[in-house]
Amino acid sequence: MTTPGPTDHRVVLRNREFLEVSGVRHVESFDETSVVLETTLGLLQVRGNELHINQLNLEQEKLEVEGEITALLYTENQEQLRGKGFLARLLK
C-alpha cells in the first residue's frame, strides 16, 4: 500500500462528528454550518452544525473539521457552492 502524497485526495468521516480531508488546496469559505474547500478533485462542501476547523495545513494539504456533519457535496461548478452573486440576490 502506498502512502498518500501531496496530491492525493482522501476523506475520512468518523461518527459524523470528525472529518479529515487530504488534498485540500484552498478554503473558499467557512462558518458554523458550512465549509467550502477546493480539493485536488474539485470543490467539496461540508454541511452541518457547530462546525469548527481544528487544523488547516495547506502546505501538507490537510484539513480537520469537528462538529455535527450532515452532508458532503462535491461539484465542478463553483457557483453552485458559493451561492448566487450579490447582484443576483438583490434583483430577486
Q: Is residue 34 part of a domain?
A: yes
Q: What is the pTM of this model?
A: 0.77
Is the separation of the CB atoms in 78 and 29 below 8 Å? Answer: no
Total number of domains in the chain: 1
SS (H, E, C) the chain: CCCCCCCCCEEEEECCCEEEEECEEEEEEECCCEEEEEECCEEEEEEEEEEEEEEEECCCCEEEEEEEEEEEEEECCHHHHHCCCHHHHHCC
Task: Give the CATH number of the domain where residue 20 resides.
Answer: 2.60.40.2000
Indicate left, alpha or beta for 7 from its phi (over 0: left) and psi (-120 to 50: alpha): alpha
Can you give the pLDDT of all 92 residues of the chain as single tens digits?
555 555 789 999 999 999 999 999 999 999 999 999 999 999 999 999 999 999 999 999 999 999 999 999 998 766 655 555 555 545 55
Percent with pLDDT over 90 in the chain: 72
| Domain residue limits at 21 | 10-77
